[in-house]
Amino acid sequence: MLACAAWTAGWVLAAALLLRAHPGVLSARCTDERSRRILAALCRDYRGGVLVGELCEDLCVAGTLQYRRCLYSERGKKVLQADWRGRPVVLKSKEEAFSSFQPLGLLEAEAEGDGDQELPEAELLLLLAGEVRNALGLELANGSLGPLWPAGRWGRRRRGQLASLWALVQQEEFVLFSLLQGLSRHALPVLGSCGHFYAVEYLAAGSPQHRALFPLDQAAGTPRGGRGQAKAVSDMALSFLDLVRHFDHDFSHRLHLCDVKPENFAIRSDLTVVAIDVDMAFFEPKMRELLEQNCTGDEDCNFFDCFSKCDLRVNRCGAERANSNLQVICDKIFRHWFSSAPRSPGISFLLQRRLREAVLECADPGVPAGSTQGATPSVFRKLQRLLQATLRELQAAEK
């Protein structure tokens, strides 16, 4: 009896551990069978001319884009790993089925009328600009829509092309990644698409399960042992600071990250940090729209990791975000690295203490100074100096 109970408990524990490590694995939706079925339906639609994309031929005909495994599947969203001509990639879509996306209404009308009545290019561009406005809250001039526009080549399969473009532009993340293409080394470039699925680079994604939050085994030149890990952590932290500076200042509007957790970032082999999930990243105008809600207290003005204050005179949340990307990254990422980790070899006690204090000040700037501002430029520079000093100490300890 006791043995039986112990045996059952053992299995329950093993299953719980497996689920914790790979939440997608046992989810009924994240199975190979289901993923293959979804891709088979995609290819059927491709052969039927319903959808197109640069990657369809490789996926559906040549076999040079091959499914590997399901990484994630929740609320319709699919994240699949695949090999594309020998390189690991990720295929993503917000919905499993192509038909789940709103069709372009005018296209239907076009099909019903006589076939020669095509929508003029200018009208399509206008519609596309509207979709981008919906997705990102940005008013973009026609000239800036280039990354989304199939370079004026509508070819034979114009209908499929338009339908595919429409399914893609309903995915905010696709729109944002496409517009940041070539403008940011901290965002994923889009490698191509087929129907409603778009491909991005497969990178080493973060997870709270890793000691250093990110898997360091694939990172080039990370020596094993405590010092190697300490150096890698400092490099990644400096890259996070660069990402913060870049998203705060390098675009026409500040880009706010409202879902900061290790799983939503990845590292390249040179330890550059990349945002891999930007569903909750908003440019300033959209951020203001999202924050400005009715409220009876500050707690009504929290939008995931982005907060503002409740103005009790008018019971409206302020449109201005009260915290910052830096503050949230200090709180959700740096604190794990520098405030709770045991002492690192090769870094002086004094430096470790100053770094710990700077991270706490950054994560919660209101505590010592009573300030209501998000983390300030001075704490940014302080962190940068301390991390660079850490790298110098580690380098000296190597000798």
Backbone angles phi, psi at 117, to 5 degrees: -80, 75
How would you classify the pairing of strands 197-201 and 204-205? unpaired
Stretch in the footprint of ligand ADP (CB under 6 A) among 37-45, 133-141, 195-203, 371-379: 195-203
Least distance (Å) between residue 6 CB and ligand ADP: 34
Q: Which is nearer to ligand ADP, 59 or 162 (CB)?
A: 59
- Name which of residues 205 to 264 contact ligand ADP (CB under 6 A): 205, 263-264
Q: Which is nearer to ligand ADP, 173 or 235 (CB)?
A: 173
Residues 160 and 48: their CA atoms lie apart, in Å, by: 9
Q: In the set 58, 95, 96, 277, which binds Mg ion (CB under 5 A)? A: 277
Transcribe 198-259 into DSSP letters.
EEEE--EE--TTSTTSS--TTSTT--SHHHHHHHHHHHHHHHHHHHHHHHHHSSSS-EEE--
Reading phi first (left if > 0) and then psi (alpha if -120 to 50, else beta), residue 192 is in: left
Q: Which is nearer to ligand ADP, 124 or 219 (CB)?
A: 219
How many C-beta neighbours within 10 Å does residue 81 have?
Answer: 16
Residues 214 and 195: their CA atoms lie apart, in Å, by: 32
CA 191 to the chain's CA centroid: 15
Two structure tokens written together for 388: 């660079």
Q: Which is nearer to Mg ion, 276 or 360 (CB)?
A: 276
The option from Mg ion, ligand ADP, none interacting with 162 (CB < 5 to 8 A, set by class) reads none
Q: How many residues bind Mg ion (CB under 5 A)?
A: 2
Residue 173 in contact with Mg ion, rule: CB under 5 A: no
Least distance (Å) between residue 263 CB and Mg ion: 5
Residue 266 in contact with ligand ADP, rule: CB under 6 A: yes
Residues 82 and 85: their CA atoms lie apart, in Å, by: 10
Distances (CA, A) of 203 to 42, 171, 270, 273, 275: 24, 21, 11, 10, 10
Q: How many residues bind ligand ADP (CB under 6 A)?
A: 18
Residues 65 and 377: their CA atoms lie apart, in Å, by: 45
Residue 275 in contact with ligand ADP, rule: CB under 6 A: no
Q: In the set 248, 279, 292, 298, which binds ligand ADP (CB under 6 A)? A: 279
Least distance (Å) between residue 147 CB and Mg ion: 23
Q: Which residue is nearest to ligand ADP (CB)?
A: 277
Stretch in the footprint of ligand ADP (CB under 6 A) among 154-162, 197-205, 208-216, 302-310: 197-205
- Name which of residues 58 to 97 contact ligand ADP (CB under 6 A): 71-72, 74, 77, 79, 90
* Amino acid at residue number 383: L
Q: Which is nearer to ligand ADP, 117 or 209 (CB)?
A: 209
Least distance (Å) between residue 204 CB and ligand ADP: 7
Stretch in the footprint of ligand ADP (CB under 6 A) among 31-39, 271-279, 321-329, 385-393: 271-279
Two structure tokens written together for 92: 């993503």
Residues 228 and 232: their CA atoms lie apart, in Å, by: 6
What lies within 8 Å, CB to CB, of 301 at 6+ separation is 291, 293, 295, 307, 308, 309, 310, 317, 318, 322
Instruction: Name the residues that contact Mg ion, by CB under 5 A.
Output: 264, 277
Which residues bind to ligand ADP, rule: CB under 6 A?
71-72, 74, 77, 79, 90, 188, 200-203, 205, 263-264, 266, 276-277, 279
